[in-house]
Chain A
Amino acid sequence: MTAAAPPVTPPVTPRVGLFATCLVDLYRPSVGFAAASLLEQAGCEVFVPRAQVCCGQPAYNAGDRANAAAIARQTINLFEGFDYIVAPSGSCAGMLRRHYPDLLSDDPQYATRAQSVADKTWELIVFLTDVRGWTDIDASWPASVTYHDACSGLRELGVKNQPRQLLEKVEGLELRELEAADVCCGFGGTFCIKYPEVSGAMVDNKVDEIVATGAATVLSGDLGCLMNIAGRLSRRGEAVEARHMAEILAGPAIGPAIGRTADSDGGKA
């Protein structure tokens, strides 16, 4: 799966609805700001509809299609007027892009609209590189990082080379690949709460590999995976810190890493 071709005549300054995702909204606003900054750097006008909540994935994956569909309709109402809808998450973008049409296929009022929203929804990094053709990263991060391919982005949306392509442009950054970058970290939404021991073993493997690279920071494009990985790193007392891709790419204003505070960090903050 690779990104589809951009529209024939892309708007000069596209109006982009930023779907921040519920985790970024609650846990890490800085990712939202970083995403908005990147979109603006790539020549977009960014809007953040205030009534946005969640993409509905927790309900959809729990078999609660009625609630998932209700939330999907809500999201469609809110975002369908934009030229593009962009999310700093492969998982949530994948929900809109790959699953809304299925979820609403029997809804005569929404089937077509769901498809239209799906067609213009993108994961942030892919939107920048493949839709905007923009790679003018102006950022510096003179340290070693490793990168975890978040599953939904990788397998539903083909996010693989694009983030690496952008990381290459970050001044001073050294990418050390994981042995198995594309193996699940064990997050899986509610999976990690329903099956904590299994999920724990999976994230432990991931952390082993991260530590083995010797990198100072682990990056990924999905906050769910990152919170899982950061939480395990912390539990194990590892020094490696976790950050969303957008934070590094957006440029100078970089705060403490996930789960670190200016006090607890002592690091790059």
Chain B
Amino acid sequence: MTARDDILGRIRTALNRPEGAGPPPAPEYANQSLIPARAQGTPAELTERFIAMATEVDISIDRVAGAGGVGTAIAAWLSAEGLPDRAVVSPHPVMDAYGLDDAPGLTTHRDTTRGDDLVSITPTIAGIAETGSIMVTTGPGTPYTLNFLPETHIAIVHVDHIVGGYEDAWARVRSNGEIGTALPRTVTMITGPSRSSDIEREVTVGVHGPKRLHIVLVGDIEGGADGKKI
């Protein structure tokens, strides 16, 4: 008897289920959606909510009208914050569109990192209005470490990638019910810079992960109040 047999045997005895009983019928709840109302709305509403929720968790947000302006905006933000002008960028082709390599005041290299980079710039899968979270994944051009090791993480979010709830974000990586290796090795929802309240429950930001999470939000969207663009 292996431990596996022992454990499964005890479970089946406890549940009075025969071996090979097969999958149970889908539970009733599985077909009833329970998505919070705040995860729903028009694209403009969701964008506004995303910005509000992200701001609450100490994410700073910069807006640019088009992808080409991202590099300049980042250079300006780094300079204004007194941060280093050198950044490691996810080695993914999608990053070519942002004018990162020729932006004055910004030096970049495309690579993974072992911790000697102080600033990283990464793409995102989605921005999630429900909680102001961003979703990032690991892949050949998107090393995981860029989201965690540098002190400053700059994430690029496209307005038309802002979704309502967690499920909507997951639909962007799992539209066909992917499982196992068909999924990225990691899918992470990040909600603000690293923090801890382990010492006397006082919140301190920047424990093991980034001390700053900065989002550059690309594009705008019709439908704001008074016909304004959001």
| A–B contact (CB under 8 angstroms) | no
* Residues of chain B whose beta carbon lies under 8 Å from any beta carbon of chain A: none
Interface positions of A (Cβ within 8 A of B): none
